[in-house]
Structure 1
């Protein structure tokens, strides 16, 4: 049986009939999606498999997922509580002169969080104790990093990408590009904890791509879990920063505004939200037909699993081609998706020939469900820095800027940074990725200042003047 779906959760003969010998793309938790889009069955995801010993290893597109990632039958009562840890190697680490690895010592984590349905969920990630000293004022701080888009297959987990920066098999292309930001943060002397998000890594369910509650909770609970890692130098008093770009920018932004109600014990002193997908309706339109069109499949799959209203729309409106694409993409990493579904238009996946965004817009309940994912309806904790490329057409610039405006109207301390570059090509990812690199140093410097206690000066007053 698959780890993504335990026998106790199967409520449909159709989904239970998958043979153990079938390929990974159909025998894992992606069967959750297969059951949703083919039989209309509602599957309950509140429990987790008994133990790693009860199920065979998960092999996702030729990559065997370590048994560490299988959640236990019972989870701790408190959010952020550690389930288990183990030492972890960093793929790009080098020996230091003092014998300690550079840039730090890594620990693999599994911890408890709460999903968007209010149910306990196991989340995995990595804590890195830096080799560099924190030389600024105050205790060593912690930065909770939310990764950019990695994919939906278990093998795409950010923690695995830190361990294996480049994975090339016959079926998988995975690049650990987030290591650049992580290592730059570690070089400042701040500790880092990186979340794998809900269902990416931990093998009990499908990754709920771009779900604001799942992502925000997972990031905040990663910060809680980091304090409990044996040997960690960070404590409950350590100033905490949130950092993310693209999918990670949305997660960081969500965590910042959820923190006052969900995790008031996490002392968030600053948040960097780069290119945040704050409005998924707009973002779906940007992704559709782009080089990253596979990410639209991940969004549809994740929300079909988590939200009954959106699930009903998927069941009624996705055609056989779309169902096959959703199932296939659900085991892919970014590299696979670029090669397999780059520039695909979602109109090929629907019964009506309309785009997925148009299908959702035509159903009030589904549109309302998507609107609940909007970031910007709450006031974030501490100062925030929102940066977005002015020509970003994948995660559209206008909706990211609107997030800054929404927060400004709520009285938040917002630093808005439009990254002004020439148009580098429509729908080919360059307008989205280049600002990540060109602004990264400034983003980390800004966050480091917040971690050392320097106040941030809001530039909300300038918003009418900024592009």
Structure 2
């Protein structure tokens, strides 16, 4: 779920490890350097035999080039494999990219860092954002986003999200998995030898579509999971806040591929739930196909398909929600647990998820992928919880809104880094 330039022609048709690295934090004044990061690509994407160390520890790193980030900002970049935790609290390894401008930070204090989560890329291992940035790049919009952050002087820690290591499945739309991975990649940024990113750096969170859900989950989890991070704001656009509402809108529609990925991702992240045994032969083939595709192929392959077409008993969404896993939870409960804006409150409120910094949420007025009712409901939930929330609308559809919002988001994050006040727009209709 996201906007990207590579989708343009398709949408038009549809709608008409071995190399261990010891964590090191360098001084702010130290220039970026590629020293001590000598892992191979294979090391970055090979799952370690076991994951040790605290979340955000660097397991392996590799200096890399970013030929598909536009502009001419001199920079140093590293692919990283780092430690995180899944939704059950078990240690996992995750891949990502850390990028730092070569120019010295000219603002006050430490150079700010932005934890960035891309939108939907697809489940295929080749779709990992770190691979696309350094190789067969397909998402020019989010390359623009990273370029804009670098031009502003900020370090960028971009997660691939869990599940892009060899032989794994990305836990697509699993909120806690996504939030942990995003918070831990910015922890890892300061542990990359020579990055110059300080542990004390002010941190911004940013994502759109799948990435918007991930960054909002990171905002909800930050105070309990990563209290040492100095998060000053979160920008989340195109947020699929309630997956039941989103699924109803996707099933049988032009963008049913997002639903296919979501079911596969939640089954991977919640292994107690029934899944394989529900599928017929067509469903098993469809799952294997989805796990090999990036976004464009996923949308083209599954357009118009209903989930029931892949199950032995032709199960509807409501029938699937009623099914129980070996842990006693129903599928409906698992999906509901991914809903954003529940159990939230201000700092020191005693809420399950305390948020002590401003949030920017945005969407397109011509949104056609995610039901706008759920995006609007997430914003209202944040306002009702007393969280300072800025709300912006853009004239584009899902494809265009991320690009339209880019400069505003970078400026908004810059205001947060500079300590400027944000009053929000919750009193506006």
Pick the TM interval, shorter chain. 0.7 to 0.9
Match of 1:304 among 240, 253, 267: 267
| 3-state SS of paired residue (2:427) | helix
Distance in 2 (CA, whole Å) between partners of 1:103 and 1:282 is 44
Q: Mapping of 1:19-418 within 5 angstroms?
A: 66-92=42-68, 102-166=73-137, 174-175=138-139, 177-200=141-164, 202-308=165-271, 311-312=273-274, 314-355=275-316, 357-363=317-323, 365-377=330-342, 378-379=344-345, 380-418=355-393
Structure 1 residue 324 displacement after superposition: 1.3
TM (normalized to structure 1)?
Answer: 0.76
- Secondary structure at the counterpart of residue 198 of structure 1: coil
Q: Is 1:141–1:240's contact at 8 Å kept on the other side of the alignment?
A: yes
Shift of 1:71: 2.1
Give the total of aligned pairs.
378
Task: Tell me if structure 1 keeps the 8 A contact 2:69–2:146.
Answer: no
- Contact 1:164–1:176 (8 Å) recurs in 2: no
Gaps in structure 1 of 5+ consecutive residues: 1-49, 53-63, 97-101, 167-173, 422-430
Q: For residues 43 and 378 of structure 2, what CA distance do their matches in structure 1 show?
A: 40
- Using the TM superposition, give the Cα deviation of residue 406 of structure 1 relative to its aligned residue in structure 2, in angstroms: 1.1
**What RMSD over aligned residues (CA atoms) do the two structures have, in Å?**
2.3
Structure 2 counterpart of 1:60: none
State which drifts further: 243-252 or 87-96. 87-96
Q: How far is 1:308 from its partner?
A: 4.4
Alignment CA distance shift 1:68-1:362 (3 Å)? closer
Structure of greater relative contact order (alpha carbons < 8 Å, 6+ residues apart)? 2
**In 1, Cα distance between equivalents of 2:118 and 2:148:** 14
CA distance in 2, matches of 1:284, 1:83: 36
Give a deviation string over 1:273-313, Cα, whole Å, max 9, x none: 0011121111222333344322222211121222245x31x
- Taking a change above 3 Å as real, the CA distance of residues 291 and 444 of structure 1, as seen in their structure-2 partners, is farther
Which position in structure 2 is the counterpart of 1:435? Answer: 401
State the 1:241 CA deviation.
0.2
**Counterparts of 1:130 and 1:237, CA distance in 2:** 18
Aligned-residue offset at 1:404: 1.4
- Distance, in Å, in 1 between the alignment partners of 2:374 and 2:252 is 18
Distance 1:155 1:351, change over 3 A: same
Structure 2 residue runs of 5 or longer lacking an equivalent are 1-16, 20-39, 325-329, 346-354
How many Å separate the matches in 2 of 1:420 and 1:95?
26
Aligned counterparts of 1:141 and 1:413: Cα–Cα separation in 2: 21
Q: Which TM-score applies when normalising by structure 2?
A: 0.82
| Change over 3 Å in CA distance of 1:183–1:343 after alignment to 2 | farther
